[in-house]
Amino acid sequence: MRYFIPLILVAVLLQSCKTETSSSDSDQRVETLLAKMTIEEKVGQMTQVTIDMILQNDKLDEIDERKLKAAILEKKVGSILNVKGQAYSREKWHEIITRIQDVATKESTSGIPVLYGIDAIHGSNYLTGSVLFPHNIGMAATRNPALVSNAASITAKETRSLGIPWNFDPVLDLGRQPLWSRFEETFGEDVYLVSTMGAAAISAYEGDDLSSPNNVASTMKHFLGYSHPASGKDRTPAYIPNNMLQEFYLVPFRKAVEAGASTVMINSGEVNGVPVHASKYLLTTVLRDQLNFKGVAVSDWEDVIRLHTRHRVADSPKEAVRMAIEAGIDMSMVPLDYSFYDLLLELVKDGTISEERINLSVRRILKLKFDLGLFNNPYPPTQKVLMSNNTTEEAALAATLESLTLLKNQDNILPMKEGAKILLAGPAANNVTALHSSWSYTWQGNDDRAYPSTTLTIKEAFEKELGAENVFSKSTRGFQDVENYTTDWILAAAKGVDCIVLCLGEQAYAEGPGVIDDLTLDENQIQLAEAAIATGKPIILVLVEGRPRIISMIEPDIKGILMAYRPSTMGATAIVQVLTGVYNPNGILPFTYPKKSGDLLTYDHKYSEGVREDVPNVYGNGAYRPQWPFGHGLSYTKFEFAGMKTDKNTYQPTDSIRVSVQIKNSGDKEGKASVELYSQDLYSTITPSFKRLRGFNKVSLKSGNSQEVNFVILASDLAFVNEQGEWVTEAGDFNLLIGNQSVMVRIQ
């Protein structure tokens, strides 16, 4: 029997609101609907399956009507995600979403629309032909939250225009373990940087009104402690002391809740021996009680099942479902079968899990669907989307240019002289996949055929800028092609050129397939670099990589080094603009670039971690000796700081601290600079960090011009988490640092 409630609701909605309704209205609607739902419908709402479950077995994008009806009418699934293997066109998305919603709203007993979710994590990466933005690691190098916000706004509009209202982004994991294969998806190693960029993305995704065609529900992920597996391997155990979880890993999630994140995705791994999907402490005490998060908690891929199959804390699949629900999961990304639906139904029917508990989750899910306006209109928009590829290209180019980070410029080898002739080599020189990496038209991003034909490789961008006759290269499109590693031709070919540009780094990867055993750059690339160095020509190295691969064995012989991260669609153009001096670089590292694979300190290490005893009984402070420190990045002009001051010398814990500094462009080119404010706690009851980032500001200055840069921080921003797990602002002396300037203040 079909309910009449949804029709009544639709009528009420049509009458009462053209725009979305107030929160209490949607709460009331949720309760009315919930009261009419069967247990089966409730459990179905908590079930999310992947699109494969509704597609024909041998097709990538054709709906199988029988499977679609089994999913929505029999198993009553509330949510579907993903693509099958590849990006779809706008028309295909419209066709798929329309058909899903037709069945959900017109044929199901409950009439509840389906919530479709996707990973659009650096632009609309599952829409064919879309323009992609740099991965977060590059966006963090810009130190410009407005660029993150702009990228998220564009992505929200594009995603929503496909009929998809839910985006599994942003990643708020801290990039403090450089071996980790998802490092490129992070905003780097620092808590404040990740929190600021993450909150900028969330505010832009969600806007003021989730039902607007400009907005999507965001997902703060992956809660909590995913990014620091002890072994560096994806989805393996992390051991993070509670005060560090609170002071470091939790902070970006707290800011994300404040910024309005509607949903959270859970860490697939385990922290301190407890898989997070089974942790009532993390999912209820911390997430709900401490952070006051009210939205939907979705599991990650297959992770409820894995409590039994991988983590081995549940001795049966049914026990795994019980544990996850008891811990606090609202929706299970099952995603390739209906085991969750079947088992949860059994658990409710046999009384192991109460209906009240189920109602708690279903309420959150229905509320999100109401807030997204899906009960008003679950279909893709019919009007044409205004967003053009040109606008997106401009936005992506602006972000990419600000992300590129000049790490080394010995003898001012860069920018290249006009009329330069170059030899271009390396696996990333004539390749698009490494420029984009994970989540680019395919999950792994490593399928050259999936990329738009208009996307330039570095070789093509150089040929456009310098003329094909000035670019000598044998590089081919496949990152692993053997031709890209041969060295016997280099000496002869280098004869007539001014310099050699080497494009090295990493092939595209995502998650598990990106696991490595060695942070050192691959041997065949080191050999290529050595052959180039042996020519005696100046070498410029462009690093196209998602994490800092060790290059200390070749670095001394290389004059210019540019970090490109994963710059995506406009990457090649931007790289060439920086190398040729069309654009003055201003990105700065969002992580510490290590020199040795066994020496992986972050910039905010403890004083005590900085101590070395190279000579017996002689203790120096030289242990933080990376290849390049966090915040490092050069410009073609010169910036100088002077006159740093604070409004007072002594502050109460509740006070604001006003800090100012003068910055001058004393070089001969216009340029941008990231001004960073650090604090240094001299003594505290828990060993203090050597320094911590407290603010940043980006300025643009013409040659010879100066500007005052101001910061306002709270004295309580200098707090830390003590042994009892409480945030405390301890009295004492702190240095505040900007560039080469510092001021000491006292907290009373």
The Cα angle at residue 254 between residues 251 and 260, in degrees rounded to 5: 145
Do residues 189 and 140 make contact, with C-beta atoms less than 8 angstroms apart? no
Q: d(Cα 699, Cα 58) in Å, to the nearest integer?
A: 54
Contact positions with ligand BGC (CB under 6 A) in 286-305: 300-301
| Nearest distance from C-beta of residue 87 to ligand BGC, angstroms | 13
| Nearest distance from C-beta of residue 175 to ligand BGC, angstroms | 15
| Nearest distance from C-beta of residue 218 to ligand BGC, angstroms | 12
Contact positions with ligand BGC (CB under 6 A) in 52-81: 81
CB nearer to ligand BGC: pick between 206 and 676: 206
Contact positions with ligand BGC (CB under 6 A) in 193-222: 221
x/- mask, ligand BGC, residues 635-664, rule CB under 6 A, reads: ------------------------------
Strand partners, 681: 734
Contact positions with ligand BGC (CB under 6 A) in 251-270: 265
Q: Which two tokens stand for residue 31?
A: 């309760």
CB nearer to ligand BGC: pick between 133 and 636: 133
CB burial string 425-440: b at 16+ within 10 A, e below: bbbbbbbbbbbbbbbb
**Torsion angles phi and psi, residue 312, rounded to 5:** 60, 40
Q: Residue 555: how many CB atoms within 10 A of its CB?
A: 16
Q: Residue 702: how many CB atoms within 10 A of its CB?
A: 10
Nearest one of 248, 166, 254, 169 to 211, comparing CA atoms: 166
| Nearest distance from C-beta of residue 389 to ligand BGC, angstroms | 25
Do residues 51 and 22 make contact, with C-beta atoms less than 8 angstroms apart? no
Q: How far is CA 183 from CA 173, 318, 523, in A?
A: 9, 34, 21
CB nearer to ligand BGC: pick between 305 and 578: 305
The answer to whether the peptide bond before residue 162 is cis (omega within 30 degrees of 0) is no
| Nearest distance from C-beta of residue 198 to ligand BGC, angstroms | 14
CB nearer to ligand BGC: pick between 139 and 578: 139
| Nearest distance from C-beta of residue 24 to ligand BGC, angstroms | 31
Which positions ≥6 away from 616 have C-beta within 8 Å?
Answer: none
Q: Chain-centre distance of CA 445, in angstroms?
A: 15
| Nearest distance from C-beta of residue 452 to ligand BGC, angstroms | 22
The Cα angle at residue 602 between residues 439 and 198, in degrees rounded to 5: 40
| Nearest distance from C-beta of residue 510 to ligand BGC, angstroms | 8
Q: d(Cα 250, Cα 224) in Å, to the nearest integer?
A: 7
| Nearest distance from C-beta of residue 237 to ligand BGC, angstroms | 16
| Nearest distance from C-beta of residue 136 to ligand BGC, angstroms | 12
Which positions ≥6 away from 714 have C-beta within 8 Å?
Answer: 654, 655, 656, 657
| Nearest distance from C-beta of residue 301 to ligand BGC, angstroms | 4
DSSP state of 485: G
300 catalytically annotated: yes
Do residues 38 and 112 make contact, with C-beta atoms less than 8 angstroms apart? no
CB nearer to ligand BGC: pick between 175 and 585: 175
Do residues 506 and 183 make contact, with C-beta atoms less than 8 angstroms apart? no
Contact positions with ligand BGC (CB under 6 A) in 707-736: none
Site size with ligand BGC, rule: CB under 6 A? 9
CB nearer to ligand BGC: pick between 61 and 119: 119
Q: Which two tokens stand for residue 134?
A: 């740099």
Do residues 185 and 137 make contact, with C-beta atoms less than 8 angstroms apart? yes
Q: d(Cα 296, Cα 269) in Å, to the nearest integer?
A: 19
CB nearer to ligand BGC: pick between 168 and 249: 168
Q: d(Cα 504, Cα 425) in Å, to the nearest integer?
A: 8
Per-residue HEC secondary structure of 258-316 comes to: HCCCCEEEECCCEECCEEHHHCHHHHHHHHHHHCCCCCEEECCCCCCCHHHHCCCCCCC
CB nearer to ligand BGC: pick between 83 and 588: 83
Q: d(Cα 408, Cα 188) in Å, to the nearest integer?
A: 20
Do residues 298 and 261 make contact, with C-beta atoms less than 8 angstroms apart? no
Using CB atoms within 10 A of its CB, is residue 390 exposed (0-12), middle (13-18) or buried (19+)?
exposed
Residue 189 within binding range of ligand BGC, rule CB under 6 A: no
Do residues 461 and 569 make contact, with C-beta atoms less than 8 angstroms apart? no
CB nearer to ligand BGC: pick between 324 and 528: 324
Contact positions with ligand BGC (CB under 6 A) in 527-586: none
x/- mask, ligand BGC, residues 483-522, rule CB under 6 A, reads: ----------------------------x-----------
Q: d(Cα 129, Cα 454) in Å, to the nearest integer?
A: 9
Contact positions with ligand BGC (CB under 6 A) in 149-168: 168
Residue 119 within binding range of ligand BGC, rule CB under 6 A: yes
- Identify the active-site residue in 300, 303, 330, 371: 300
The rounded radius of gyration (Å) of the Cα atoms in the chain is 27
CB nearer to ligand BGC: pick between 125 and 405: 125
CB nearer to ligand BGC: pick between 431 and 438: 438
Q: Which of 26, 47, 82, 446 binds ligand BGC (CB under 6 A)?
A: 82
The footprint of ligand BGC (CB under 6 A) covers 81-82, 119, 168, 221, 265, 300-301, 511
Residues known to be catalytic:
300
